[in-house]
Each structure stands twice: as structure tokens, then as C-alpha cells.
Amino acid sequence: MTTLMKYLFMVGIACGLMACTFGGKPSVMVEQYALEYPSPSIQNIVRIDQVIRIERFSVAKIFNNVNMIYRQKPHSYNDYEYHRWYHRWRANPGDMVGDGLLRDLRATGIFKSVFSYRDMENPDLLLKGGVGEFYESDEKEGRKAMLSVNITLMDRTQKALAKQIIFQKNYRYEEPIPEETVQSFAQGMSRAVEKLSGQVMADVYEAVKNRK
């Protein structure tokens, strides 16, 4: 390599470093989290010879994204963002909660078959849901994962809308978060969704089994 080529090579490296330091944007690192929990079990069940479909869950506008949101005081919501480091949910809260319930209903074997909104099948029984709260509360009561979900179970064989609704119920959970880490928040929310799933499945089972 000639002296001129060596000089141009070193100048090129220096310019690249200067661009990174002064003019270039630093790379953004993103860490993604998902809900993880064992499927809840329901004791003393007899399989119902019917098919049910889980519709895609809606989400309140403020939580309808993948941001990991926390609240430190009333009316003030923020997301976990540090210098050059972002923490995000792997998927939208509605999809994570709905997919978890889909998995759990299939695992329990309550129904003959369980379909999702992604499937072509459109049975008579429909389960709809809406996530109203999905955040970490850092207020004076202590750190908690806050979850609220509205569930509606419907029978489409009925002509009148009022008669189609088998039951509609709002579920709300506050799960303590022992450590001041994003990982602990994800674990706390996972426990909240686990409790939600177990209770929803028990309620759906009883409602369908006792339906006239």
C-alpha cells in the first residue's frame, strides 16, 4: 500500500468516527417482553360438545401499542425509555391477552374445538374481549401491574341482540411488583393475565353448561 493510499485510508476512518460522534445518530437498542405463564387448570369439568371462537381483543386507545406504560401520579402516563435503550412488549396487549386465553381454552379441553379470529370457522359461540387497562402503577400504594378486561360471551343463534349475550363481565386485577425492574413488571402482568384467564374460563364453562 502506497503512502498516499495509507493516508486516504486513515482519513476515511477518522471521518467515519467523527460522523458517529458528532453527526450520526446512535443506534437504538430495543428489548422486547412477552407474557409467560402456565395454562390454568379447571377441576371437575365435563367437556362441552360445542365449538367456540375467540374474537380479536380490542384495546383502549391509550394502551393500544407495544409501549410498556407506567403511571406515577394521576393523569400522567409514560413509557419505559432510557438513553439509547427502549423496552417494548413483543405484541399489542389485546393480542397477548387474547392469544393467551385461546391457548388456555384449548389446553383445558372444555370445548370440542376452539378457534381464533384468524380461522375461517364461524361457530355459534363467540367470545369477545376488550383490554381497558394494561400498565404499571408506581403510585404511593406500591408498584403494581394493573389489568382490566371486559369479556362478552355471545350465542349467535339468537335473533335479538339482547338474547345473544350470554354474559358480560368486567375483570380487574392488581398484581404486586416486588422489584424495580422492567422484567419484574412483565412477570407481574403475566401473573395478572394468568388469574384473568383462569377466572374467565371458569365463568365461560359455567355459563355455557347452565345455559337453557
**pLDDT digits 0-9 by tens, 181-211:** 999 999 999 999 999 999 999 999 999 988 7
**Terminal C-alpha separation, the chain:** 89
Least confident of 10-24, 105-119, 128-142, 185-199: 10-24
Cell numbers for 111: 370445548
DSSP structure class, residue 43: S
**Which domains does the chain possess?**
28-209 (3.40.50.10610)
The 10s digit of each residue's pLDDT in 63-79 is 999 999 999 888 888 88
Name which of 157, 185, 23 is nearest 88 in CA terms. Answer: 185
Cβ atoms within 10 Å, residue 187: 20
Cell numbers for 106: 384449548
When pLDDT is averaged across residues 100-107 and rounded to a whole number, the result is 96
Q: What is the pLDDT of residue 91?
A: 96
Q: Which residues make beta-bridge pairs with 136?
A: 70, 145
Q: What is the pLDDT of residue 83?
A: 52
Please give the Cα distance from 183 to 189 (Å, whole number): 10
Name which of 176, 177, 182, 175 is nearest 81 in CA terms. Answer: 182
Distances (CA, A) of 161 to 109, 120, 166: 28, 23, 10
The answer to whether 174 and 189 are in contact (CB under 8 A) is no
The answer to whether 133 and 93 are in contact (CB under 8 A) is no
When mean pLDDT is compared over 7-21, 28-42, 73-87, the highest value belongs to: 28-42
Residue 5 has pLDDT above 50, yes or no: no
Name which of 176, 96, 95 is nearest 136 in CA terms. Answer: 176
In whole numbers, what is the pLDDT of the chain averaged over residues?
86
Q: What is the pLDDT of residue 160?
A: 83
Neighbour-count burial of 186, counting CB atoms closer than 10 A to its CB (0-12 exposed, 13-18 middle, 19+ buried): buried
Q: What is the pLDDT of residue 27?
A: 66
Rounded to the nearest 10°, the torsion over CA 81, 92, 192, 147 is 80
Residue bearing cell 377441576: 43
More confidently predicted of 115 and 2: 115
